[in-house]
A and B are shown apart, each in its own frame.
Chain A
Amino acid sequence: MTRYLMNLILALIAALTLPVTASAQSARLNLDFPELAAKASETVDVTLDGPMLRLAGKFLSTSDADERAAREVINGLSGIYVRSYEFDHEGEYDKSAADRVKAQLGPTWVNFVKVTSRTRNDGSRVKEDVNIYADTRGDSIVGLLIIASEPKEFTVVNIIGPIDIEKLTRIEGQFGIPHIRSEGKLKHGKDERHD
């Protein structure tokens, strides 16, 4: 009888905790692209799990506006993963990498922004596909995926946790970075990886 009760309690605990764990982990996607990393001339590889994210938060400056804004954005998040690859020549990477990421998305993911190309102010056309997906649970967003494909650049961002999209979008204005390409310092050499 005691054993039966113990088994029942354990089963109940498992039943209660598993969906929470699965829910928390389901927003994290597999972002391993070894074939892209091998070909890329510049690679950005950021993996910040919960503990590292909290550690990073402790080291953010309170006097710097950018870092104060970053502190607000990461509040409540449980992971940020970024992979960005820049290539020397157009068409050097396999565009199916984006499809492999999209294939992992479950029914709770919604593609709420899809940009296929845009025109610069000078009239020149830039081929940049940006797809933004949100993992929605009820009214709240618990995960975000950004896939940006350019002829010579491929970027994937996966953010896990309750995200305030407005706040994230507003941040760039505070950071004052018009476009990632013009901010060469953000890029790292091929051999420099952040793990």
Chain B
Amino acid sequence: MNFEDDLTRALARKSAPNGFADRVLSRLDAPRHRNFSMLRRIAAAIVLTAALGGLTAHQIVEHRRNEQGERARRQLMTALHIASAKMRVAQRAVVHD
């Protein structure tokens, strides 16, 4: 009998103390908000850094390509000037002869 009484008492429905649910929720919600906010900030920082890094890298590549192209253009004009000048020397000599 004692066992049955003990079990009944142990399983009896009891109300939670006043404010218990609010206290639990406030403890659960507050850190979660902070974590979520922090993650968003980190993600935004990563995206921004990646975008800026990509833009800078693109500008560097473009700048180098322009430099290389400009140098190649100057070399080409120099080469053609020399080639045409020598051709002209030969042409003049042939005409004179």
Q: Is A130 an interface residue (CB 8 A)?
A: yes
Asked if A132 contacts B69 (CB within 8 A), the reply is no
Asked if A82 contacts B96 (CB within 8 A), the reply is no
- A173-191 CB contact bits vs B (8 Å, 1 = yes)? 0010111100100100000
Residue tally, chain B, CB below 8 Å to A: 27
> Chain B residues near A146 (CB, 8 Å)?
83, 86-87, 90
- B77-89 CB contact bits vs A (8 Å, 1 = yes)? 1111111111111
Given A115-B89, A128-B89, are A157 and B79 neighbors across the interface (CB < 8 Å)? yes
Which single residue of chain B is at the shortest CB-CB distance from A157? B83
Q: Is B7 an interface residue (CB 8 A)?
A: no
Q: Is A9 an interface residue (CB 8 A)?
A: no
Q: Is B91 an interface residue (CB 8 A)?
A: yes
Asked if A80 contacts B76 (CB within 8 A), the reply is yes
Within 8 A of B (CB), among A116-158: 118-119, 128, 130, 132, 144, 146, 148, 155, 157
Q: Is A73 an interface residue (CB 8 A)?
A: yes
Asked if A180 contacts B87 (CB within 8 A), the reply is no
Which single residue of chain A is at the shortest CB-CB distance from B96? A118
> Chain A residues near B91 (CB, 8 Å)?
169
Given A46-B78, A180-B81, are A118 and B92 neighbors across the interface (CB < 8 Å)? yes
Asked if B87 contacts A169 (CB within 8 A), the reply is yes
Q: Is A53 an interface residue (CB 8 A)?
A: yes
Q: Is B70 an interface residue (CB 8 A)?
A: yes
Smallest CB-CB A-B distances: 7 pairs: A172-B84, A56-B72, A59-B73, A59-B69, A115-B93, A56-B76, A180-B85
26 pairs of residues in contact across A and B, judged by CB atoms under 8 Å: A46-B76, A48-B72, A56-B76, A59-B73, A67-B77, A70-B80, A74-B76, A81-B79, A82-B78, A115-B89, A115-B93, A118-B89, A118-B92, A128-B89, A130-B90, A132-B87, A132-B90, A148-B86, A148-B89, A169-B87, A169-B91, A172-B87, A177-B85, A179-B85, A180-B81, A180-B82
Interface residues of B (CB under 8 A from A): 68-73, 75-94, 96
Interface residues of A (CB under 8 A from B): 44, 46, 48, 52-53, 55-60, 66-67, 70, 73-74, 80-82, 84, 113, 115, 118-119, 128, 130, 132, 144, 146, 148, 155, 157, 159, 165, 168-169, 171-172, 175, 177-180, 183, 186, 194
